[in-house]
Amino acid sequence: MSLVLDPKFKSQMDWALRFLTQDQVVALPTETVYGLAGRVFSDLALSRIFSLKARPHFDPLIAHVTGLDMAKELALEFDEVAKELIKNFWPGPLTILCKKSKNVSDLCTGGSDEVAIRQPSHKVFAEILKRLGEPLAAPSANRFKGISPTSYEHVLEELGPFGLPAVVDGGPCVHGVESTVVRVRSSQKLIEILRPGACQVEELRNFSNKLGFEIREAISVLDSKTKHHAPGQLAKHYSPSKPVVFFEFPWESFTFKSIQENDLSLFVTADDYKLSADKGFSGKEVVVLGKTKTQSAANLFSELRKFDQNKKYSRLIAFGTSTEGLGLAINDRLKRAAGSEIHPS
């Protein structure tokens, strides 16, 4: 049985800290999704993270810190642009890749010479880090390739049966999609986006324009053959166990005969759903994630989970949204849920 800890009580936060100092893992809320936390400086804790998630060792973990000072323990150096990013976007959903220092084991980075670092803004995670005084590795608290958890109940569903010691209940996550992962290439005046996420590309572009830097998506596919040479992502990820089909906005390749009995159709925003009227959707099984993209992102993973658990549905038809704002991250997650079933391919 996993303990569910209430952060309002100091004694329960003490429990979480005790687990962590004893090289155990604890699931903690962040502003993006729940993370499965363990000490970066403990190989025992890191290996417990990998085994509880059934995650392969080539897929590296993000280190969470209280700010630049703690980040300096992990990185060989910080270039000036990375420091500016930190000033502008931390604490918050931006993860920065840096050359790792010798303090960081290969277990954390999947053998890469870069370490991914972020400062979460969630007050529960921030308090734990402050009291612990050292960085915590934390991947999303789901089984490998599964749907990321945005509530403590989701964490229990994912990891409870596999021996999770404890989860701190910090309520639902505000963003609902993971952090944006970037790498700075100062010599090329370039910021690469390896994973679109809750920190929006437009905000990053405003920032980089001021510095005369270009921003470019470098979203790559990670598989067991390429290992960390193509870091960032797996093609099939964030997946329900049932099939998902994705149609790129504005869904030109969609025809109504693609819909079968027991399909659920998913639209990202209310405006997208209005457009679907032309396609003859009235009376069909439909879920709309939210009024705005912010709301839709917050509901995305819980709706994927509900679809997966509802026996009524055998397949999800996911209609992508426009790429502005959080649309980029939402489409990315829906495409990874679909794997190779993406139209046009």
232 interacts with ligand TXA by CB under 6 A: yes
Size of the site for ligand TXA (CB under 6 A): 30
Residue 66 binding partner per list ligand TXA, Mg ion, none, with a CB distance cut-off of 5 to 8 Å that depends on partner kind: none
Query: What is the closest distance, in whole angstroms, from the C-beta atom of residue 30 to Mg ion in the complex?
Result: 12
**Residue indicated by tokens 């734990």:** 128
In the bound state with Mg ion, the residue whose beta carbon lies nearer, of 9 and 162, is 162
26 interacts with ligand TXA by CB under 6 A: no
Binding mask 135-174 for Mg ion (x = CB under 5 A): -----x----------------------------------
Please list, residue by residue across 209-245, b when 16 or more beta carbons sit within 10 angstroms of its beta carbon and e when fewer do: eeeebebeebbeebeeeebbeebbbbebbbbbebebb
Residues numbered 101 to 140 that lie near Mg ion (CB under 5 A) are: 140
Tell me which H or E stretch contains 256.
Answer: none
DSSP 267-312: EEEHHHHHHHGGGT-TTS-EEEEESSHHHHHHHHHHHHHHHHH-TT
32 interacts with ligand TXA by CB under 6 A: yes
In the bound state with ligand TXA, the residue whose beta carbon lies nearer, of 27 and 259, is 27
| Omega before residue 91 within 30° of 0, cis | yes
HSE, side-chain direction, 13 A CA sphere, residue 251: 23
CB atoms within 10 A of CB 175: 23
Residue 27 binding partner per list ligand TXA, Mg ion, none, with a CB distance cut-off of 5 to 8 Å that depends on partner kind: none
Where does 33-105 have alpha helices with state H?
43-53, 68-72, 80-89
326 interacts with ligand TXA by CB under 6 A: no
Query: What is the closest distance, in whole angstroms, from the C-beta atom of residue 280 to ligand TXA in the complex?
Result: 38
66 interacts with Mg ion by CB under 5 A: no
| Single residue of 5, 81, 94, 97 touching ligand TXA by CB under 6 A | 97
35 interacts with ligand TXA by CB under 6 A: yes
* Cβ–Cβ under 8 Å, residues 100 and 115: yes
- Determine how β-strand 244-247 pairs with β-strand 315-319: parallel
Tell me which H or E stretch contains 237.
Answer: none
Binding mask 57-76 for ligand TXA (x = CB under 6 A): --xxxx--------------
Joined together, the tokens standing for residue 100 give: 């790792």
Residue 112 binding partner per list ligand TXA, Mg ion, none, with a CB distance cut-off of 5 to 8 Å that depends on partner kind: ligand TXA
- The residues that touch ligand TXA, with contacts defined as CB under 6 A, are 30, 32-33, 35, 59-62, 93, 95, 97, 109, 112, 114-116, 120, 138-140, 178-179, 181, 194-195, 222, 228, 231-233
